[in-house]
């Protein structure tokens, strides 16, 4: 089964919300203090849009084959 | 991240405001270089002054941060002594079309082998939101609080008239096409320009009632159309859209090639 790992570089992220707005599957969200978090990783389709719209090189999606 | 090797990690995060589109343009360029497998020691980034011009200092390649508007003459000099290097100029709309406008038309006229990326955020970001030659008519800036009464330049027409041999336009909401145009521009023989429309949420966004950086990027999705799509539209539908794509791509002897053949001739 395929599993995508969403990696947020916390020290780079500026909480602009662009990736949240562009993710087609609503995988990403921001908390009350605008901090970015992954809402539901199982919904991620690995389209990489979040990484392409991020202005701060702060999010990447690594497509992995789950072992066993 | 693809292209990470061209970034200087010691200088990240950037000084850019949250949601500023500049980083997307940089990401696209680094991705294009990675796809072309250009070694970082073969690239020289040149910038003028402005928010977007900070780009040069974020690259893990040779780079020079010059004077406002003067990136192209410096880049021209570098290319003349090191024709083996990829010389890439990263410049704002004010930097390249206002104060640097004269250098721009002459770089195009010479068809000198440089890549120029114009970060079109429609405004002077660094100095506080003054209007630029690319501020659309009617839009606001701190020097045009009731809306600009000037007409903006059409970068494509201007550069085509001046002689550039590769001209493309894209926007930060269209990552893949932007990477493709940048790849083609970097590989092109002669003066190659990619104008990338990007957002300055702090000045342009606030003054023109855009709600957020994300909304500014969604605006691009609705208002920019590819040349192929535009062909199927009526004149009226097209007039309200910003066209994107590769407008000019022609083979024409470049300055460096002409100089090389002249030297060869003279040394016979
Ligand atoms: C000779 C000179 N004139 C004026 C300035 C002030 N100045 C610095 S950046 C800038 C404009 C920046 O706008 P742009 O090139 O569009 O870049 P942005 O900041 O929007 O990325 C100006 C007028 C300067 N640094 N040097
Ligand atoms: S890869 Fe696509 S689906 Fe997954 S988080 Fe990023 S934008 Fe959302
Ligand atoms: S787009 Fe980038 S900087 Fe903005 S919230 Fe998402 S990860 Fe953070
Ligand atoms: S002022 Fe505008 S262009 Fe400059 S960093 Fe901030 S958002 Fe970007």
pTM for this entry: 0.97
Domains of chain A plus CATH, in order, are 2-65 (3.30.70.20)
- CB–CB contact B18 A21 (8 Å): no
Question: Tokens 């990007």 belong to which residue?
Answer: B198
Supply the ipTM of this predicted assembly: 0.95
Quick one: which atom of ligand 2 is closest to the CA of A46?
1
Determine contact: B15 vs chain A, CB below 8 A: no
pLDDT at B224 over 70: yes
Q: Which domain holds residue B190?
A: 4-266
Q: What would the mean pLDDT of B119-133 be, rounded to a whole number?
A: 98
What is the number of the ligand 2 atom nearest to the C-alpha of A45?
Answer: 3
Q: How many domains does chain B have?
A: 1
A54 contacts in chain B (CB < 8 Å): 23-24, 27
Report the mean per-residue pLDDT for chain B: 97
Q: How confident is the model at residue B242 (pLDDT cuts 50, 70, 90)?
A: very high
Question: Which residue's structure tokens are 């021209």?
Answer: B76
How confident is the model over B92-106, as pLDDT tens digits? 999 999 999 999 999
Rounded mean pLDDT, B129-151: 98
Is residue A68 pLDDT above 70, yes or no? no
Residue A66 reports pLDDT greater than 70: no
Tell me the average pLDDT of chain A: 92
- From ligand 3's centre to the CA of B11, what distance in Å? 18
Which chain A residues are within 8 Å of B175, Cβ to Cβ? 52-53
Question: Is B27 close to A11, i.e. CB distance below 8 A?
Answer: no
pLDDT band per the 50, 70, 90 thresholds, residue B1 = confident
Distance B50 CA to ligand 4 centre (A): 9
Question: What CATH number does the domain containing B144 carry?
Answer: 3.40.50.970
What pLDDT, on the 0 to 100 scale, is given for residue A63?
83
Q: What is the mean pLDDT of residues B144-158?
A: 98
Ligand 4 atom showing the smallest separation from residue B21 Cα? 8
- The arithmetic mean of pLDDT across residues A49-63, rounded, is 96
**C-alpha B117 – ligand 2 centre gap (Å):** 28
* Residue A36 CB–ligand 3 contact under 6 Å: yes
- Report the pLDDT value the prediction gives residue B137, as an integer from 0 to 100: 97
Confidence (pLDDT) at B260: 96
């Amino acid at each position: 089964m395929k599993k995508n790992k969403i990696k947020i570089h916390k020290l780079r992220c500026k909480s602009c919300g662009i990736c949240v707005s562009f993710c087609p599957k609503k995988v990403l969200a921001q908390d009350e203090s605008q901090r970015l978090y992954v809402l539901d990783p199982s919904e991620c389709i690995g389209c990489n849009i979040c990484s392409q719209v991020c202005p701060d090189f702060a999010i990447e999606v690594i497509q992995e084959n789950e072992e066993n | 991240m693809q292209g990470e090797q061209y970034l200087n990690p010691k200088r990240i995060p950037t000084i850019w405001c949250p949601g500023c589109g500049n980083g997307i343009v940089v990401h696209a360029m680094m991705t294009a270089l990675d796809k072309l497998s250009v070694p970082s020691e073969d690239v020289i980034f040149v910038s003028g002054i402005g928010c977007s011009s900070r780009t040069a200092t974020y690259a893990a390649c040779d780079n020079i941060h010059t004077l406002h508007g003067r990136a192209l003459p410096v880049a021209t000099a570098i290319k003349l002594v090191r024709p083996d290097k990829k010389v890439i100029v990263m410049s704002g709309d004010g930097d390249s079309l206002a104060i640097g406008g004269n250098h721009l038309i002459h770089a195009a006229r010479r068809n000198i082998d440089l890549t120029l990326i114009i970060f079109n955020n429609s405004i002077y970001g660094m100095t506080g939101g003054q209007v630029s030659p690319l501020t659309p008519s009617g839009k606001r800036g701190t020097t045009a609080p009731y809306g600009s009464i000037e007409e903006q330049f059409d970068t494509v027409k201007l550069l085509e008239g001046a002689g550039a041999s590769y001209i493309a336009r894209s926007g930060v909401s269209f990552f893949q096409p932007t990477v493709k145009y940048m790849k083609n521009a970097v590989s092109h023989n002669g003066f190659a320009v990619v104008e990338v429309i990007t957002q300055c949420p702090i000045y342009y966004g606030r003054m023109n009632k855009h709600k957020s950086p994300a909304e500014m990027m969604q605006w691009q999705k609705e208002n920019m159309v590819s040349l192929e799509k535009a062909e199927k539209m009526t004149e009226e539908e097209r007039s309200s859209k910003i066209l994107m794509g590769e407008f000019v791509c022609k083979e024409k002897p470049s300055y460096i090639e002409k100089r090389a053949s002249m030297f060869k001739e003279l040394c016979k």
